[in-house]
Structure 1
Amino acid sequence: MRPSNLRGDCPINGKMKPSSGPVIGLEEKSCSSLVETNSDSGLWDDGKKRVKIMRKMSSLKHKMLTAYCSAVIGILAVIVIAVSWQLSDSISHQTKLLSKNMGEQTNRVILGHLKVLKALIENAQKDVRGNTEHISQHPNTYKSMESKQVKELTMFLEAACQRTDTDFALVYDIKGKLQASIPRGANALEAEKVFGLINMQQAISGLKEGNGADKPAEVDFIVRMDAPLLKALEFGDRIGTQSGGIVLVSSGMIPDDFGDPFGVCISGKLLNHFDHPMKQMYEATGSVSAIYLDTLPIAYGGFNEGGKEKVDINLLRIDPEVIKTAFASSGHVNKIFTLAGKTYLTTSAPIKSFNGENIGLMCVGVPEEELIEAQKTIISNSVRTKSVVQRWLFGIGIAALFIFVMVSFVITRSITRPISDAVARLKEGEGDLTIRLETSSRDEVGELARWFNVFIERLQTIIRDIAKDTGTLTKSSAELSEISRQMTVSAEHASGKANTVATAAQEMSSNMSSVAAAAEQASTNTHMIASSAEEMAASIHEIAQNSEKARTITGVAAEQAKSSAARVGELGKAAQEIRKVTETITVISDRTNLLALNATIEAARAGEAGRGFAVVANEIKELARQTAGATGEIRNRIQGIQDSIGGTIADMENVPRVMGEVNEIVSAIAAAVEEQSVTTREIAANVAQASSGIQEVTHNVSQNSSVAVEIAKEISEVNQSANEMTNSSSQVSLSAQELSRVAVQLKGVVEQFRVDP
């Protein structure tokens, strides 16, 4: 692409303004004002750019501090969130485990309480057995039966039942006939049904066979008795509206004096209203209990509603499915159901008769609200613990943030201070190329300063050479202007002489008719013409010498302009090398950023152990990014210098072109002078011929007339050539002025830099 100055364009306001004329027809005012403006502002005197750089330095410090603080806050937030989440998850898991364990523990406790209830029933069974053993083995029993002393036997039975808290005692003969009973008013016929109910004949046979030392003397039973039988035994008030009861029974053989069976004693305890022991169990364990016959309880404890002694048993009714499930189980069953308006965690076990039939249900439970309250307490304590831990984490995080901010401030200052010092030195330089940056640092900033100093040294050398070439160019333009002035004076002198010769030729032509009469005058005029021709030849010779000298000077100026353009080109190459260095630094920054990214990935793989290394990696990545930004700024500066160098190169390339045009003009002048020399020689020859032919004027009048016409014509050509030489000299003068203006502009650009200490 051809430079704009070759066609006379001038960059104004970012656009190229075309010019229809040659180089000397440039918009001088616009270009001069543009150069003048650039000279006034200067490459290093752009206040706004310096303020922008200082603001960027301050912004870099703030960005680094912000990045560090953000990283710490993010890490602390992640730690707090992770710990809080882990703590919440742990608390939730522990709460579930505690709830599960508490439920299992509660079931075990309830099962233990169920065993306590079984033990209470077994103790009651032992009391009944003890009463039976006491009655059957006491001698008074056999004696009273043998002597038919029913009253004494009844009193004995009553005393025995009171001693062991047994509800009833029945004495039968060996055939099952009732002999005495407690309660006293028991219906004998109905009471004898008890004998048949438990198949006492089989029991007596067993007692007979087991009369040895290794066989028991009593047999225990648990039976279900219906309501009519219990009423016959005077237990109507104990069963109420229920369909019967569950009775603990123990039978024993009454021997005679020889040890043979004489009768049978049956003692029993009704589990209906077995409330007192169950209340004691409630007071001791806090567990409610109930003994069910079908779906209603026959005894219970702990279900006091509002402190009352009695509870509506309909409120204690249970679902038949619960009984069915318990009966189907071989052991105990855990259930949750509502009794008397409260929800209970319960454990139930069936009550089996002597023949293995399920006749009732034992049930023990604790209120569910107690377990829920305990769980709430656990959760509340866990939440309180979590709050305390979070407060501690928050306090530790604030302290860590404060410490990290202080450390980050020191680190940031140590990083940005060398850059700030370098910017301050550049600011103070104001185009001083003798200033050098400190290179004591061994980091990227020190590397950047070292390469920048190398660039400044090369730029200083190039600017110094350009300054020298500018002086030479100024001197050459002055010499060219002087030569142009001398050429103009010589051309004007030659033109005057040509006019004189033309006038003489005209006079000679007009006086040709009186040549003979004015021979003397013709001789004089001829002598004058000869003298003028000699003077004109001398002037033409001098013009030729000056033209050759101007041609030599323009050649030297063109060579010097080419040398200056080459040096400016070297300056552009040096800037390009610096740009390559900045690109290398950018590549180093990118690689540093990549290494920081790899370090971040490895730190993430390391988990907790790599968190600190991840922070350092993020800081290195941020420093690499800032280094890349600073390198980009230097690249933009170098691009500006390259643009200025490009304009200078265009101007320098314009100088050889101008010199070439001047050389062409001088060559044209030399050619014209050569032609004039030939013409002058012809004029001299003609004048000599005219002088020699004056004696033959008479004979050569016609010949002299034609010669005079030819002389007038040739003198007219000489005059025209002199005018052309004057115009060419004017063009040379204008070109010299243009060259001088370019030299002044180049000198103004160079003077903006300080190259010597």
Structure 2
Amino acid sequence: MKKGINLLMTLILIGVLPLLIAGITLCSVSMNKLSNNLERDVYNKLKVAAEGLDMYYSWDVIHTGKAAYEHNYVDNLLEQGIEQTLFLNDTSYITSIKNISTGKRDEGIKADKTIYKTVFSGKDYQSDNVMLGGQKYYVYYTPVFDGNHNVIGMAFAGEPQAIVRAQIRSSSSVLLILTATMILLMIGLVIGVAMKIRTPIASICTCINEFAKGNVGKEPSIKSSIREIHTLITSAATLQSNLKNIAANINRNLITLEANMGNVTDGVNFYNQASKDILLVVDELAQGAFSMEHSVTKCSTSIENMDEKITDISGLTEDANENSVAVRTVSEDAKNMLNELIKANSHTISISEDVVNGIFHANEAAEKIRQVTNAISDIANQTNLLSLNASIEAAHAGEAGRGFSVVASNISNLATDSANSAKEIQNIIETILHISENNVKLATEIKNATDQEGSVLNQVNKSFETVSSKISDTTEVIFSIDNRVKVLEQQKAVIIDEISTLTSISQQNASSCDKTNASIEEMSASTTDIHKQVLDTKEVSEELKELVSYFQI
């Protein structure tokens, strides 16, 4: 009896106490490690979400300075328990967090000063116990940069602390239960071994040895009437069943893990290919930006050439304006001279009437007077032809001044001839005072000719008025052209300013493409690291699979 008690106590002291100490220590360390790993996983998950939020809105922020106000993206991780918020400066702009008390989105809320100061220095910020919307969160903040790499906001991702802590407690409870179960099983095994006195001890040892070899597929067939031995047998059978289930579960989990790793690998490969495609598109955008800059430069050169042409046109319009003024002056002078000629014609008509009265009785020199009147008639005919030419010249306003000058000169010559003929008539009248039978008839014809000449001169005067009106219209058109040229010069200056702005924008686009290219290359490097980690996980999975294959189910 004493030997039994001593053996039991000895086995308890040797096996149970160290097992308890090791189990408790291992459980404490494992729980702490598990808690740290879970928190690290949470922060990594939140970091990926925050960086994804930053990448989603970065193009709008860089090019417009403000993101589009919509909640589709910030709400897409709510099923996973992750909240997202985009801050502009220190104020929340778009968020998925709803205040517990109001049920409304926490938008327009200022960020904590400490967090704001840390993130706006260009650093990421992570912490727990951060109160948002009426509850505590695990949070991760990352800065949002504009095109000049200045911090203009923050991308936030967070998970309710209660959910994370519940997961930690759940995992710790499972670990604690498993540890306690294993300790109890081991204690039962030690007590059973200590209580066995006879063959069942050896049989159970044999079974345990089989378990140690990995043969867990066959249940123990040991029987004993001793309750303790029976309990030990039952514990051995339970151990065999648990080991078998654990091995089977590990095998199933390994299969699932391999499938998940394959999916992750496919996702990484797809992401790498997408990054390469984006790089190609960004390169094309950069080339387009450089091409646009070149085209804008050529356009600027063309505008400069157009500026020179506009300057030339402005000078020509000024010269045309001066010439039109000079033509108008000449036309007015010609019109004044024609008015003087009309007055002289009126005076001639008056004199011809006096001649009719003076030669009423001059009948003897009728033949010579007829010859002289014929000469006067020829001169009148020539005057009529010249006036017709003057009318034709008036229709061609471009050469109006010169045409009227020629006509006026011819009319002057005809007037001189008329004067000479008049003197000859006077001489003849002096010699044939009493010979003028047909003088009255001839004098009447002279009067009619002078009347016709006056009518023609009036028509020429009207033509001069028409030419003067056309010259005035032409002058107004030239003034209008000059004003439009000035407006065109003003528009040219605006176009040059816009082209300068467009050149600056194309240069900024090229710079932004370079920065985007660099960011995508950094992301590609990160995916390469992830791919490497996936491969390492696969290797660990293979090793675990090899170890589990030791158990023969």
TM-score calculated relative to the size of structure 2:
0.33
- More RCO (CA 8 Å, sep 6+): 2
Q: Which has the higher strand share?
A: 1
Larger-gyration structure (1/2): 1
Higher-helix-fraction structure? 2
